[in-house]
Structure 1
Amino acid sequence: MNYITADQPHKLLFIFLLIFNVCTSSVLAQESIRLNTEVRMDGFLRLENAIFTGGNRLLQSTFKHLLFPDRHIFRTPIDGVFKVESGMVFRGNRMFPPAGNGTNQSSRTLLLRSELRFKLNGFWSSSAEKLYMVGSGSGYVKGKFRNANVVLTLHYPLNTTRTTSLVTGKLESMDTEDSIDYFEPIHILAISQLNYEYTLMTEAKKNEFSELGCNNLVYVPLSLEPTTDYVCQTMFQLADIYRLDYERDCTTSMCNPLGGDFPLWPTIMYLTEIRCSEKGKVRMLLQFFNSSSSVYYQPLDPDTTLVAEGVWDVKTRSLHLIACRILDPMHSLVNALIGDCSIRLSVRLPAILTVTSRSTAVGNMWSIKSVNESGYFLKLGFRNSGDKWMGVPGVKYEFTKINMAMKCFEESKTVGPENGIYPSGHSLEMRLDMYVRNGKFGRYWGYSEPLFVGNRTYGRFIGGTSYAGMVNISYKMILKSPPCLTSSNESVEILGEGVYDDGSGLLCMIGCWHLGLERTKLVKNGSTDCEILVAVQFSQLTAERGYSAHFNGAIKSTREKVDPLYFDPVEFSSFVIGDKI
């Protein structure tokens, strides 16, 4: 006699389906209308941040993403049991052909993305908190077409709290081990978005967020009521890269928010929304990285991810968050749980931006543990580098280095041809695709765009009324991995402010850039270098070029050559399609 064991879930599922069909066959006629009624459960099987391991004979290292692109839930005659139909996709990154095959960057084509697609059907018991599904799928793996028959089992609770919000389970092969289509079990871990109950903020002590550490800033005068939809629709769409600011004298593992077991300190925090609800409550994922080059759309990593819940505080005009670690002691995803909720964060929105403080969201992160406890770390700051809230009512830009920029302008100004036509300060031509050159380190590229023109954001000017003459202007300049400024693969962001004259086509600015952790240790005061000059000379607009702007410019350090922050001049010009980097 063959016995069914616990490691054969597909056989158990088949028996469940058989019993279900027998028990319900007599009532299907009466329940046909109810059975065909689709149920709306917002958030069910939304597992875009899932992580998975295993399946070595089926998957490959390039597979990074697990998606459930379509899902349908139907009532059944059994209370608490729902029929589920869903798609399931394992997707790899797109791959480029190898370099050196005679093609340049502009003509390189993408190879076929590795992808496996499954069609699944099964049942979910909300009381048992189990989802059982079977199905089949196919796709291209390592250039070969593969088929697979599978069974999916997930622990999937109907209602979740901080401790029960993890979805765990596995995908297993229904083929025998000697079959070419067999694969090892694939273990799955994800965060549920279904029916979450907020408990952490109500349990927190009232004084835990009293010392925010950002009190030297003036904040956006937002008067948001807890019930307004504006909180969720605008303020909590925080998906953005935040750069971490450690204390200058941080030299021990107590500075690392990931704990002493991680030799590399993270420099980037990626904050993404899981769910936003009424009354300003929000759930978020905090993912930590050592580089910003591969932040977006990365799957959840239990070792470097925090799960947080929070609320918008109307009184202090800040977002308070309580973050928890994902504990996976066996590194198997099977016994993972959410615990150690001793981390606190506060995020605020500055009302006044400057060239040295241009972040539209700033905050602090700290531990409420004692110094001797495991998991304790020193308070650190963070700030975003994006422009997501540049247009939020109440945010203003204050020019602080115009006098210095005017000195540069007067020294650089030349008399141009009479009746010359140059780009206006608010036109599309002020966006610069840059072809960057440095004699010692070669060539690379960059991009620049105005942030404010006068007292208004640049985006609001485009297509509007033309203002002739000289205007105050601020810029964001991105240089892609320039070796003269960084030894890593990180992009360098230089913020500039100064003056632009559309009568001469000359733009002169004082530039500032935030020093990384290593460079900060080289200077005595501050973490921002503003001893930089940026000058751009636009060419005249001509009908032959379709009135497109050409330009030449340079970024220069005003420091002495012996200064550790000095860098050789960086020249740039218009980027033209066909230029080889």
Structure 2
Amino acid sequence: MAPPPSNPHRHTRQLCFVLPILLLSSVAADSTPSYSSHCPSPAPSPDLVHTNVNDTIALLEHFRFSPGFFSGSGASNLFMPGVSGQFSFFPHAVSRTADPALLHLSSARLTLFGERAGAQNGTLGFGSYERIYDVAISFRLDGYYSTTTSELCMVGTGTDTDGPAKRYADVDLRLRVPSKPSLVDPFVAGRLEGGADFEAVNLVAYADGDVYEYSEGRATCPAEAAATTSARRALEPQQPGGGFSCAAIRSRLVSEYRLRHAQSNSSSLPKLHEPAMMVNQVRCAANGAVRLYAVFSNDVRLWASANRFAVENQGVVAEGFWDAETRRLCLRACRVELLVSYWSSAAEKLEVRECGIGMSFWFPAVWTVRDRSATAAMLWNASGDAGVISNPITASTFQYIIRTTTTTTNLSDVKYSYTQTFLDTATRHYYLNARRSMSNANKKTEASFPGTYNFSSYRDLEFRFLADNEEMVRGQAYPVSIGSAMVDGDELAAEYAFSRHAAPEMKQSRLVNISYGILFQFTAFDRPDCSEIKAEGVYDTETGFVSMLGCRELNVSTDCKVLITVQFSSLEESQASGHGKGRISSLRDKTDVLYFESRNITLYGMYSEQVSESIWRMDMERIITLASSTLSCAFAILQILHIKRNRDAARATSITMLVVLALGHAIPLVLDLHTLLANRSRLFVELSGNGLLELHELVLRVPALIAFLLQLRLLQLAWSGRRSSGHHRSLDAERRVLLVCLPLYLIGVAVSGVIHAENSRATRKDPLLVDFPGTLWGALASYAGLVTDGFLLPQVVLNAFSSESSSARALSPWFYVGGTVIRVAPHVYDVFRARRYVPSAKTSYVYANPRDGLFRSAAWDVVVTCGAAALAFLLLLQQRLGSDVRRTSHIWLASSSS
């Protein structure tokens, strides 16, 4: 059988498809730097054909480093000068070679995460400011690793996608990766060099993976009494082999700790004298083996991230085992010293020395007003006599760190032990202070306070506050325990503990024991960012009154004579009066050095039911916005049909009115477009993550865009009608409209500037409901909306000066009546919302944002509504009665102008 005839076109298509691929491959091959020119050692070797799958997985884990730390002069070339960053290293394939001591790492990806600063334009170009944003640079590398010398050398290319894509074509990476990391050799360190593109970048990371060589001797903890041992918690969830859970211990150890040195300041570890410690790297195995890296700092404020790998400060590396019998983690630690600054061009080196440090971590099972540590620790000099500890360093987690970073920590097995002397003092002041306000509170027998209307949630007892003093102290307070229930830690466990224990106790007793954590944030530069008061006392469920005695940490002492009283607003009153009032005062004499002046605090926020109402309101406002935009389109279409049916209507329609309407639709669209363009760098993240609201907002603007285009069509029809008719009298009438309306609009601009200044001054006096004063451009945009509310004014003026316009009935009743209703509806709704819904510090508005209002008063909403309705009614009379009303309107306009 003869072969089928060949199809030359098919071969041509195949050739056209293959050639570009070959060309791209050749270009990529030419652009890839040569391995031998950058890495004289280790020398490459052919890959083995077959590699064990389990062996490959173990090798991949051994060469994964995340997070790591980078710095150096090259970092300043790539990112902001003087700022370090993080890196990650992930090989996609690892294979053994013909040389048993050589591994081939192919398609490895090194990613540097840093920050850059760039100019950001203000709203519509009004001013500019510098913004700092995150940037990631990715490098694709290929190379070899020698198990004999622990040397890894790789070459490849990099890509920077910030702005115009930039390619780094000549990059080499040299790392020292210990084949078996140990306590004295735990770090991966090296350099990334970019040839002519950037200077060397120094890299260091804590060795990852399960390949680790623990010391032969197990670390031991000092013996303690059985009562102390029973006060510790086992790890959850329970695991075979003594209750050890690797994931649980990692989540609880990675945190920030406050260090307390001996009172005599003669610590047994003089080189570890800093007041704060951060454990940021923890690795563990299923058999209970644990190793970690911790750094010490003089800065007691929050670190940027709990997982941040830092080398600039003093540090320790430690290893040990979890003791299931005593429920402690016993570790042997070594001090880490940075020999060369990581911002110098010299080769970096972290040296491990002085390994005679003992460390122990445990998880307290009982919390008190003085000690609320989810994790506690102790450091001591273990190089002396066994079992003898002198002047140890104790550590406990920062309480406010727990609040923000351990939302998954289950503290339901922790018991809170109230201090009776604190409760007695708080109860005594409760009867002294609360009785004064009880008479007013009891007048409203139907008042509902937190805990009386919603027994399934404790969230309403949380609040934020603002102190009325010159330091502008802001803060937040959250309950730690209510009755016998722990409500701190994991949210689901806290909700269960509250509904199971605290809610029945609040039903049975009027006074319930309660404990709080109160955080302060100062704006003064000479104060720390945060300070804390730990308090406990009683809560009256019928009056919403809280009386507590608290302790505050000072530099060298603790002040436990701080009285905190709070009067919550009822659910019915919070709409008008906010969340409540309070007072923080000192019970010490004025001559005492720890005495401080009393501070009144104002509570703000929303109760849970009000949050639900706010969400429902926002959904309803989206529907109203969509309906208003759709009706605007419908009324514009009806006006277009009206003009086509009445040939005289086009030349009788006020062009000034149509311009005002077009601008009224265009300004919101321009502002939304500017917001979208300003955030274009985060658009993908927002839409793929938590950006569903932005997508909805974009959809809501589609009918508004259509309405704007229809207004342009109306403007084109009116202008064509004037040009085709050739009536100079109608053009003269339009000029007279401008002579009347334009001065009024200009006067309004001047008045808007004055009112904006007054609103800005009032905003600074009331920072609870408005975060920042409005801009002048925002005030002008708001005034443009006010002009659009009176869009019928130019048409009324035109009808007053031109008999032809009034007799022609230029506007369809659907257009001017419906348009008036659409414009006054936000003002009517604003009055309704102000009486119905609760304002908040960061309330979101979809429809009729009151913060955009120029005058910001319900009275002005009524004035605008009545004025717009009067214009519509006057236009109705003009189009119905003609010349008689025209003369009346002319007289009314003349008297108004004079």
Q: Deviation per CA, 1:118-174: give whole Å up to 9, x if none.
A: 222323334442222222224379x99754331001111332222232212111123
1:539 to 2:580 alignment: no
Note closer, same or farther for the CA distance 1:211–1:54 as it changes in structure 2 (3 Å cut): farther
Pairs within 5 Å for 1:62-461: 63-68=83-88, 70-78=90-98, 79=100, 80-93=102-115, 111-139=132-160, 147-148=167-168, 149-175=170-196, 181=197, 183-200=198-215, 202-203=216-217, 209-210=221-222, 219-220=231-232, 222=234, 227=241, 230-237=244-251, 238-250=253-265, 257-258=270-271, 265-291=273-299, 292-294=301-303, 296=305, 297-301=307-311, 303-331=313-341, 332=346, 334-369=348-383, 378-386=391-399, 387=402, 388=406, 391-392=410-411, 394-400=413-419, 401-413=422-434, 414-415=438-439, 416=441, 417-424=444-451, 426-434=457-465, 436-439=466-469, 441-458=470-487, 459=491, 460=493
Note closer, same or farther for the CA distance 1:391–1:38 as it changes in structure 2 (3 Å cut): closer
Q: Deviation per CA, 1:409-430: give whole Å up to 9, x if none.
A: 1122222122111111753111
Instruction: Tell me by how many angstroms 1:220 deviates.
Output: 2.2
Note closer, same or farther for the CA distance 1:122–1:233 as it changes in structure 2 (3 Å cut): same
Q: Within 2, Cα distance between the matches of 1:500 and 1:390?
A: 26
Q: Which has the larger radius of gyration?
A: 2
Q: Within 2, Cα distance between the matches of 1:231 and 1:17?
A: 40
Note closer, same or farther for the CA distance 1:539–1:109 as it changes in structure 2 (3 Å cut): farther
Note closer, same or farther for the CA distance 1:34–1:474 as it changes in structure 2 (3 Å cut): closer
Task: Give the counterpart of 1:474 among 504, 515, 525.
Answer: 515
Aligned residues of 1:302 and 1:327 also touching (Cα < 8 A): no
Q: Within 2, Cα distance between the matches of 1:154 and 1:405?
A: 61
Instruction: Tell me by how many angstroms 1:443 deviates.
Output: 0.9
Q: Within 1, Cα distance between the matches of 2:174 and 2:769?
A: 51
Aligned residues of 2:68 and 2:203 also touching (Cα < 8 A): no
Q: Within 2, Cα distance between the matches of 1:233 and 1:133?
A: 33
Whichever residue aligns with residue 342 of structure 1, its letter is G
Note closer, same or farther for the CA distance 1:171–1:228 as it changes in structure 2 (3 Å cut): same
Question: Greater relative contact order: 1 or 2 (C-alpha under 8 angstroms, separation 6 or more)?
Answer: 1
Aligned residues of 1:470 and 1:502 also touching (Cα < 8 A): yes
Whichever residue aligns with residue 383 of structure 1, its letter is S
Q: Relative to total residues, which structure has the larger helix share, 1 or 2? A: 2
Task: Give the counterpart of 2:545 among 481, 498, 506.
Answer: 506
Whichever residue aligns with residue 294 of structure 1, its letter is W
Note closer, same or farther for the CA distance 1:367–1:409 as it changes in structure 2 (3 Å cut): same
Q: Deviation per CA, 1:449-475: give whole Å up to 9, x if none.
A: 111111111244537364434321111
Instruction: Tell me by how many angstroms 1:541 deviates.
Output: 0.5
Which shifted more, 384-393 or 494-503?
A: 384-393
Aligned residue pairs, count: 528
Q: Within 2, Cα distance between the matches of 1:218 and 1:424?
A: 34
Aligned residues of 1:405 and 1:498 also touching (Cα < 8 A): yes
SS at structure 2 position matched to 1:42: helix
Partner of 1:565: 594
Note closer, same or farther for the CA distance 1:351–1:39 as it changes in structure 2 (3 Å cut): closer
Aligned residues of 1:429 and 1:549 also touching (Cα < 8 A): no
Q: Deviation per CA, 1:158-213: give whole Å up to 9, x if none.
A: 322222322121111233xxxxx2x322222222113443534x42575xx32679
Whichever residue aligns with residue 301 of structure 1, its letter is V
Instruction: Tell me by how many angstroms 1:218 deviates.
Output: 5.7
SS at structure 2 position matched to 1:462: helix
TM-score, normalised to structure 2, is 0.53
Which shifted more, 491-500 or 59-68?
A: 59-68
Q: Deviation per CA, 1:299-354: give whole Å up to 9, x if none.
A: 32164111111211123221112111223434455443322211111223222211
Whichever residue aligns with residue 336 of structure 2, its letter is I
Instruction: Tell me by how many angstroms 1:283 deviates.
Output: 1.0
TM-score, normalised to structure 1, is 0.79
Q: Within 1, Cα distance between the matches of 2:586 and 2:112?
A: 48
Q: Relative to total residues, which structure has the larger strand share, 1 or 2? A: 1
SS at structure 1 position matched to 2:429: helix
SS at structure 1 position matched to 2:61: coil
Instruction: Tell me by how many angstroms 1:533 deviates.
Output: 0.7
Q: Within 1, Cα distance between the matches of 2:141 and 2:89?
A: 12
Aligned residues of 2:205 and 2:309 also touching (Cα < 8 A): no
SS at structure 2 position matched to 1:508: strand
Q: Within 1, Cα distance between the matches of 2:118 and 2:565?
A: 37
Q: Within 1, Cα distance between the matches of 2:327 and 2:375?
A: 12
Q: Within 1, Cα distance between the matches of 2:368 and 2:409?
A: 12
Instruction: Tell me by how many angstroms 1:501 deviates.
Output: 1.8
Q: Within 2, Cα distance between the matches of 1:398 and 1:13?
A: 65
Instruction: Tell me by how many angstroms 1:563 deviates.
Output: 1.3
Aligned residues of 2:546 and 2:566 also touching (Cα < 8 A): yes
Q: Within 2, Cα distance between the matches of 1:67 and 1:566?
A: 48
Aligned residues of 1:39 and 1:75 also touching (Cα < 8 A): no
Whichever residue aligns with residue 231 of structure 1, its letter is S
Structure 2 unmatched ranges of 5 or more:
1-32, 605-767, 773-840, 842-898
Q: Within 1, Cα distance between the matches of 2:190 and 2:350?
A: 11
1:50 to 2:69 alignment: yes
Instruction: Tell me by how many angstroms 1:531 deviates.
Output: 0.1
SS at structure 2 position matched to 1:542: coil
Note closer, same or farther for the CA distance 1:489–1:312 as it changes in structure 2 (3 Å cut): same
Q: Within 2, Cα distance between the matches of 1:229 and 1:50?
A: 34
SS at structure 2 position matched to 1:88: strand
Aligned residues of 2:233 and 2:364 also touching (Cα < 8 A): no
